[in-house]
A and B are shown apart, each in its own frame.
Chain A
Amino acid sequence: MASKKTNENEVTPENSNSRRDFIKKSGLFTALALTPSTLVVASENKWDEKIAEYLETVPLSIEVNGKKHNLNIEPRTTLLDLLREQLQLTGTKKGCDHGQCGACTVHVNGTRILSCLSLATMQQNAQVTTIEGLSKGKKLHPMQEAFIKNDGFQCGYCTPGQIMSGIACIKEGHANSREEIKEYMSGNICRCGAYHNIVDAITEVKEGGKEL
């Protein structure tokens, strides 16, 4: 086993006690707490917060809509929250936050997934495409145009997820009939019930035969 690799996130039996456990055990926090002068200096300089932050976050390199980001994130950050809260890409919607609606659908390395059930830290070096990444300058993506033309929405809340899912549905080869489109789009709920027009839009793009 490659136990001498330097990646500190790798598990080897020797380091399976984590850095955080180690520091806890070695009593750094206790030392800070027991030394009033250190504590005062530390809090004045926000050291304690910085140490805590350093320990609680992990580095993440991720490419979103063609742009590379090097970030430090909490392991509990979902890809959805990373996109919306940290990268200000609010096109991707939070509907249920529990995998039940599809509003948060994005493409990761070309595959449609639910960003609300994906931990961002598990998408190391991934290429993510969101609704913001579809248009070329002012030119909308064919699926965006088809949704407008066919009235594929009412309130529009589910629409970014529907569009991301619709593109993938065609690319996967699951848009060969209205029935098939309905089945493979069932992971995207539309509270306004625009389903019929959504299927129209996807059918039109599929029949248009354009490279997506």
Chain B
Amino acid sequence: MREPILTARDVTREYAPGQGCLGVSLDVWPGEVLGIVGESGSGKSTLLRLLSGQESPDSGTLQFIDRHQTVWDLCSSSESDLRYLGRTEFGIIHQNPRDGLRLRISAGGNIGERLMGVGERHYGDIRAEAEKWLAEVEIDPSRIDDRPAVFSGGMQQRLQIARNLVTHPKLVFMDEPTGGLDVSVQAKLLDTLKRLVHDLGISVVIVTHDMGVARLLADRLLVMKSGQVIESGLTDQVLDDPHAAYTQQLVASILQVN
């Protein structure tokens, strides 16, 4: 029987009246990519931080089921448990790779860190695994000893993905992972992401304001406005037949650009 791996109910974090994330409920199913779209300031990043345990909600409940079928109540979990989940069950891809990489540590060290963090102590194995993951994200493995500071933006983002996926997390959170990249680099990265997500069967929650990214990656979409989810459904459904006027505007705005 399949059940959601992440369940949020009435999750609220209100920074100022009407600002933040207000009473959001959602389920994330095994192997699905859930897209979160909405205008700037609508609460997408806030929701992502709450779902991934980086910030605690004022109210609401969050439940996660890990690979051992252990049920976690994320709202009452200790910081120690949340950080443990953060480096084993979760992956977090930041928009700015500088927030998600150690720029003065080699690419291999960046990938190896999570392995060492969960107790891997064989240098040769760690290095082999790092090389394998560089190849997975289409970075030449001979760059293993280079520092990410000398990588292009697209390569840094690929490295960030490898660094997160190396411990096979069950659920990966991405906040505008292609945001800072130019269009052709973006397209290639999206292909890589799509392949990895499919091959690994991981679940993904991805925040984007780019309907093209949403269309390409997401199975389902949530549309946020002023901290609330105002529309949700299968991606094609939401994009091709938006109900809320706000969603119609969002979709229309990109159609004009195209």
A binds B: no
